[in-house]
Homo-oligomer: A and B are copies of this chain.
Amino acid sequence: MNPKHAEVEGRPCFPDVRVLPRPADLAILAVDKSRVPEVVRSCGEVGTRNLVIVTAGFKEAGKEGEEREEELRRLVRRYRLNLVGPNCMGIVSSAPSAPLNASFSRWFPKPGGIAFISQSGSLGETVLESFGEMGLGLSLFVNLGNRAGLSENDFLAHLEKDEASRIVFLYLESFADPVGFRRHVERISRTKPVVVLKSGRTQAGAAAVASHTGSLASADAVVDAFLDQCGAVRVTSIVELLRALRALERGALPRGRRVAILTNAGGAGIIAADACERSGIEVPRLPDPARAKLASFLPAEAGLRNPVDMIATAGADHYEAGLRVALSSVDAGIVIFRPPLVLAEAPEAVADAILRAARDVPGKPVLVSTTSRGPSVGPFVARLEAEKVPTYVMPEEAVDALAILVRIGELRDRPRLPQHRPSPDRGRLGGILAGAREEGRASLRFEEGAKVLAGYGIAVCPFAYPTVAEDAALAAAELGFPAVAKVDAPGLFHRFERGAIVTGIRTPEEARDAFQRLSALIEEEAWAGGRVLLQPCLTGRELILGMKRDPSFGPVLMFGVGGTLVEALRDVAFGVAPLSLDQAERMIRSIRAFPLLGAFRGLPPVDLSALARALVRLGNLALDLPLIEEVDLNPFIAGETSAAVDLLIKLQG
């Protein structure tokens, strides 16, 4: 369409969509920003529902642009448009049945199995250019732009069914809707690797939450946890991404973390082994029978442990036999072949030998390093790449790629999340929250909080509210010594600093004294609604369980070892609700202080599944009760029995 021409490059040109003989399947808009709404409207009216808007000057361009985008969103809803953009580079599909290039990208990779969804246009081009250089094959490219219509989630819904797309890569600076994202990626990642480069750590940091528990939160750590829960592997750089995609194209995922390294260059083998250790990949000593087999054909100077150093004289036969032997006892192979000064065969013969051995173990990835990009390795690399055996220059690059394959293999095997079902009690429990809000309170009393937690099966330490000193003595005796007395008053948070807690109460008399002291304090400080709370002193490991509602992710759970450690060491784990038991247990295991939860200095080990259940339930509670802004169970004592000793439940403002 262009009102100024009747023909463009030999094809007929129309002034307007309304004069077309029949509505177009797809309209690509590159008109001036001021004319976009009008053109979109006419598309909607004639029934052209698929649009790509290249034009910029919307949400990203100040107040006027924001208004223009708002108008666009209204048109999308009114005409039920499938809109990509605005402010985008467009889309490319290389499906042989319907090849389509609706973008202004300068690079068009060959067709292949990688679907690439990019929020950024320039980053999209950078990656597409690299695809071309590396020979990576594309199924679909989408530059989302401002996401006024379609978001990454709509394309994910398509990719789940799209057979041509075997690998999904997303570059995102933010999530359009994390809940939808999770639903799609949880499903897709069962059959297709999902790799995400999520940038914007710095910006994310700025949005970091600020409350006590929350102040420990790094928003980026939440993104890490979230992607892991979805079943996606996160990469942090373009270089890492490209290495990983090259390795993913072959489709082989290892079933474990054990690798054999075969090399004809000693130093490179050691560097590969070092890189494995850094990435948590094991380089196990090969079993004796394997070493005996290797010894039967390798020269005496060869190193038979792992790395297997076949020395510079190793030719095709050595590589083939060596790789067969080595792979038999591990999950993957790193092969280093540096063309030596003198070798009877052409390097291609070595490539063919590696291919023969690799083909026979399709479930065990083989990655190759040449330590060179010179002309002598060209045909060797070409031969391997033709069969999608990934090649890298430096050995540590092959190891980095393998680390991602290992990770994706592990993610694929994980149990998936059962669907969250709201609790039948949530109406009653929500009433407690609504009541507190009606009274103008921003947080629950201990007693109320205990009821809400108990409603979700989260144990709370027994407690009593004595009203006179004599009651306190009796109640303490009933709860058991040693006991603790503290002030429970709305809005009173840091009891220790305010002198509002008495610990180590060992006799009824001490309980009476504590009651009197705290009652006097309540009066003195004029803490409205303040009461004295008595509890037995629980013994066990001091932990922290927390929940904070994130504007984007919803309820974010936090776990850490309590006391001074969390604060000093920032040793906490995050998860996004809903959590599966498996995810909760992985959260618990992921903190550095996890060994402290095992049997330790006479203490029995913490009951991990009880602890995991508490985290799962805390997440469910937050999903069911949106009035809750934040929960802080600190300390949560895990001993013979596990229970929250103190609790803080803040309501939405």
Contacts from A to B (Cβ < 8 Å): 60-62, 104, 106, 118-126, 129, 133, 171, 173, 197, 199-203, 205, 236-239, 265-268, 270-271, 273-278, 283, 300-301, 312, 338, 341, 371-374, 394-397, 564, 567-569, 592-593, 595-596, 600-601
Contact = CB atoms under 8 A, between A and B. Distances in A.
Nearest to A275: B237
B202 A274 contact: yes
Contacts of A372: 126, 129
Given A372-B129, A596-B568, A171 B267 contact: yes
Contacts of A106: 341
Contacts of A122: 265-268, 312, 338, 371
Contact of A274 (B200, B275, B276, B592): B200
Contacts of A593: 568-569
A596 B565 CA distance: 8
B199 A239 contact: no
B396 A238 contact: yes
Contacts of A268: 122-123, 126
A201 B278 CA distance: 9
A255 B568 CA distance: 29
B277 A201 contact: yes
B569 A267 contact: no
Contacts of A203: 270
A145 to B, nearest CB: 12
Contacts of A238: 271, 371, 394-396
Which 10 pairs across A and B sit closest by C-beta, in order of nearness? A123-B267, A120-B267, A122-B265, A568-B595, A237-B396, A126-B371, A201-B274, A199-B270, A568-B596, A238-B394
B397 A173 contact: no
18 contacts: A61-B300, A119-B267, A120-B267, A120-B270, A122-B265, A122-B338, A123-B268, A129-B374, A133-B373, A171-B267, A199-B267, A199-B270, A199-B271, A200-B270, A200-B274, A201-B277, A236-B275, A564-B600
A238 B370 CA distance: 13
A126 B265 contact: yes
A367 to B, nearest CB: 15
A601 B274 contact: no
Contacts of A266: 120, 122
Contacts of A271: 123, 197, 199, 237-238
Contact of A564 (B202, B239, B596): B596
Given A126-B268, A199-B274, 19 more contacts: A60-B301, A61-B300, A118-B267, A119-B267, A120-B270, A122-B266, A122-B312, A123-B267, A126-B265, A126-B371, A129-B372, A173-B270, A201-B277, A202-B270, A202-B273, A236-B396, A238-B271, A564-B600, A568-B600
Nearest to A270: B199
Contacts of A274: 199-202, 236
Contact of A265 (B123, B236, B373, B601): B123
A118 B121 CA distance: 44
Contacts of A273: 201-202
Contacts of A125: 338
Select the residue from A133, A238, A338, A397 with max chain B CB neighbours within 10 A.
A238
Select the residue from A106, A271, A283, A394 with max chain B CB neighbours within 10 A.
A271
A622 B569 CA distance: 32
A77 B203 CA distance: 64
Contacts of A396: 236-239
B267 A173 contact: yes
Contacts of A60: 301
Nearest to A392: B239
A61 B278 CA distance: 30
A438 to B, nearest CB: 38
A395 B240 CA distance: 12
A395 to B, nearest CB: 8
Contacts of A124: 267
A274 B219 CA distance: 13
A562 to B, nearest CB: 13
A273 B106 CA distance: 26
Nearest to A273: B202
Nearest to A118: B267
B341 A278 contact: no
A147 to B, nearest CB: 15
A118 B171 CA distance: 40
B341 A277 contact: no
Nearest to A397: B239
A575 B274 CA distance: 22
A277 B218 CA distance: 12
A281 to B, nearest CB: 11
A239 B394 contact: yes
B237 A394 contact: yes
A258 to B, nearest CB: 14
A596 B266 CA distance: 44
A294 to B, nearest CB: 17
Contacts of A395: 238
A271 to B, nearest CB: 5
A203 B276 CA distance: 13
Contact of A341 (B62, B104, B133, B567): B104
A600 B120 CA distance: 46
A197 B275 CA distance: 12
A173 B266 CA distance: 11
A126 B270 CA distance: 14
Contacts of A265: 122-123, 126
Contact of A301 (B61, B129, B397): B61
Nearest to A594: B568
Select the residue from A119, A205, A239 with max chain B CB neighbours within 10 A.
A239
A338 B62 CA distance: 25
